[in-house]
Amino acid sequence: MPCKFPASLPRLDRQRGAVLFVALVFLVLITLLGLTAASTSILQERMTGGMRNSQLGLMGSESAARGAESWLWNLANNNAHINCGYNGGDSGFCYKPQSGALASDGVTTLMVNNPLVNNFRSTATWIASTAGVKAYTASMTGTAALAQQPQYILEDMGVVLPPGANANGQGGARDQTRSRGPGNQTLYSYRITSRSTGGNDASVRAVEVYFGAGVPSN
């Protein structure tokens, strides 16, 4: 006799795949969450790398500035002389400002910033090492993994004078002539501008300091 299915069993043609649809929706949501988490992680890693690059550049330029100060200090201790000029002087990296016209008093000489120095101080990207800059020769590239050796230039800012003194020797508590007299300690001011990259050339940091030392310049 023929076999009959019980009336309580579900018919196969009544299945509509609802469980599969819900599973696919949750799978898409989990995938989106995973992609968002991965994207956030990559962004944070790049931000951390950029901050590290910037800090490496700052440390490199600071070290170069300290090295320039040490170099000037050693020259002063050895009673040495440094030659500075408009095109870098004999050393090739010690500059003087460009002389301009006399002021209205007919005595004071107006000084104009040296365009070679301005280029080094203001260029945002890395400047290839030339004869007009001094590369910091310490083994920093191997230590901090810098992309380029830090470099610096010097600017002769003249004799350090007390408040009220006149750089042209015209009165004041102690003018330039008496500052250079026998028995007087004369300090010469130099502006040091140093530049350094980080781990790559995308990050360039510059540091500018003023340093006084007893190193006469022509």
C-alpha span between 84 and 148 (Å, rounded): 26
pLDDT at residue number 192: 93
Q: What is the pLDDT of residue 141?
A: 46
If one compares 15 and 115, the residue with the highest pLDDT of the two is 115
Handedness of CA 71, 73, 74, 75 (dihedral sign): positive
CA separation for the pair 85, 72 (Å, rounded): 16
How does residue 216 score in pLDDT terms, banded at 50, 70 and 90? confident
User: How many CB atoms are closer than 10 A to CB 27?
Assistant: 10
Query: pTM of the prediction?
Result: 0.68
Q: Write down the mean pLDDT value for the chain.
A: 75
